[in-house]
Amino acid sequence: MSKRDLKKYLNELTKEQLEEQILELYEKFSPVKVYYNFVFNPKEETLLQECKLKISHEYFPLQTKGKRKKPKMRRSVAQKYIKHFITLGVDPFVIADVMLYNIEIAQTFASENIIRQDLFYKSMFNSFEQALNFIISNGILAEFKARIFAVHNEVLQQKWQNMSDFKTSIAILED
């Protein structure tokens, strides 16, 4: 069904029928429920803190019963939150904050641990480029420029194997 057909169909319904359909969607489909819960009670700060906690546990897991868990270092955890936030329509400042936090926490981990997986560096660069593009396209570069340069400087300080890629990406900001 096209958007046009849907509009036509919705225009034919009474207000009560529309309400009934929306309630049915709310009850049947979890994403609809999540969306409406966010729209009517947008606790962005709570979502942000929960997200940052989950991301940090990927690199610094909690110890339970004297056992130290191994860090998983999954970029996908942050990516799921970012995608979810974009879908919900969360403020771009919050999304950009999460994007940069993901890289910053990974850099903190890398400063304390030896990382041999090339994929880690490639994935952090992908995250960096995604954050940079998102921040520029949303016109919020001025607010995040210092953090972007701090991430770049940390890459240089830690001598990441792909630091030339970071230099190339950041060069567009220096023009």
| Sequence spans of domains, the chain | 1-41, 44-174
Better-predicted residue by pLDDT, 42 or 25: 25
Q: What is the pLDDT of residue 39?
A: 82
Question: Once rounded to an integer, what is the mean pLDDT over residues 130-153?
Answer: 97
Instruction: Identify the CA nearest to 72 among candidates 83, 57, 82.
Output: 57
pLDDT for 65 equals 63
Among 32-41, 45-54, 127-136, name the one with the lowest average pLDDT.
32-41
Burial of 123 (0-12, 13-18, 19+ CB in 10 A): buried
pLDDT attached to residue 45: 87
- Taking the C-alpha atoms of residue 163 and residue 159, their distance in angstroms, rounded to an integer, is 7
Phi/psi of residue 115, each to 5°? Answer: -115, 120
End-to-end CA distance of the chain: 47
The string of pLDDT tens digits covering residues 65-93 is 666 688 899 999 999 999 999 998 899 99
pLDDT value of residue 135: 97
pLDDT tens track for 101-136: 999 999 999 999 999 999 999 999 999 999 999 999
